[in-house]
Amino acid sequence: MVLLGNLTASPAATGIRQIRQAQRADGPASVLAIGTANPANCVRQDDYADYYFGVINREHLTKLKSKLHRICKSSAINKRYFHHTEEMLRDHPELIDRTLPSLDTRMAIAATAVPELAVAAATRAIAEWGRPATDVTHLVVSTYCGAHMPGADLRLASLLGLAPSVPRTMLYLNGCNSGSTALRVAKDIAENNRGARVLVVCAELTLILLRAPEDEADKATLIMQALFGDGAGAVIVGADANRGSVERPIFEMVATSQTVIPESEHAAAGRLSENGLLFRPAVEMTTLIRENVEQCLVDALGPLGLSGGWNRLFWAVHPGGPAILDGVEAVLRLDPEKLAASRHVLSEFGNMSGPTVIFVLDEIRRRQGEHGVGRDGLGVLLGLGPGISIETIVLHATGNY
């Protein structure tokens, strides 16, 4: 203890503290730019049941097809985008034949397709940012569509021309809250490394989830096929944007938190198997979120003086499905316009898992604060994912749309 006391008071210790302080940013991390991308193959939700049963060669399952029609009709989705095409599925029958192992095929396709989709979103974010890709200092990448070493992060860095010295963080299998998780990691990096500019990219392909139903009673598979779409979202995160520079902070990231609803691990769980990613959310998932989300928000936002009075905040809620949005809106007693951006993204793209909240942020700023952003500009990004994990990021909209 004496040695520790002497070290603490020593000139060396003082110098270390000064070095540490000099490494930290002075202000909060901010979203400096946003980019999104989708594959070219667009399928209207009204046509999806015909499309799906056609590509899986199950036209004879008329009862299941009618059930999928009904699910699609109530999904609040107008269209979705997919990397896989009818031609691809004809060339790879193992992707739709449950008796054949398909993980190797799915991984091989993802190894190329995920980085390419990620590049499309990242390129748009970098272009909006206004600085060259070589100014990116850190990279955070998230996906559930892949399990490679090295991963999509290294391929993405190469395609973008990032320096070999750029530190990379690769996040796998975080599910629908992966976008908020990646942003939380980026906030910590940016605020603890002065001058850091973190490129965050989330990219997902439903190819990893695509499968035919097991039998006439397999409603869970139909629900998965009816909700999820493909997409990528990219964000540039940095603190202390230079005045007079090309950088224009869009959202300041004030605070972050994550919690797990007790005894909910079974409600949203998945695993990689020979037939891809098996993910079947439990029927009580929506109820668990509805019953617990407000208390989770009180615990996270209460210390900041923001709990209650939820309508004075703007909301970027992960649109996992219409029932989830309806539940959050009802329990928080939100005005309808508060979730307008989330509902729009669900309608136009479906649930893209992690990238979806990035699309929602993009939609909020695209509307230039017309819907749901109050005078003080404070809001909450709400990520919902396996666990059931509830992740919050308190945001401040700067008005630099």
Active site members = 176
Helix axis angle, 2-9 to 11-23, nearest 10°: 60
Nearest-angstrom CA–CA distance, 401 and 33: 10
Q: Which residues pair with 237 in a beta bridge?
A: 31, 198
Contact criterion met (CB below 8 Å) for 171 and 200: no
Spatial CB neighbours of 74, under 8 Å, sequence gap ≥ 6: 322
User: Taking every pair of C-alpha atoms in the chain, what is the biggest distance, in angstroms?
Assistant: 81
**∠ at Cα 191 (199, 375), nearest 5°?**
90
**8-state DSSP, 310:** G
Structure tokens at 73: 């009709």
Spatial CB neighbours of 5, under 8 Å, sequence gap ≥ 6: none
Contact criterion met (CB below 8 Å) for 286 and 324: yes
Helical ranges in 167-304 per DSSP H: 178-192, 219-227, 285-301
Spatial CB neighbours of 377, under 8 Å, sequence gap ≥ 6: 314, 369, 396, 397, 398, 399
Strands 79-82, 138-143: parallel, antiparallel or unpaired by DSSP?
Answer: unpaired
CB atoms within 10 A of CB 226: 25
**8-state DSSP, 269:** -
Helix (H) or strand (E) holding 111: helix 103-129
Strands 251-260, 168-172: parallel, antiparallel or unpaired by DSSP?
Answer: unpaired
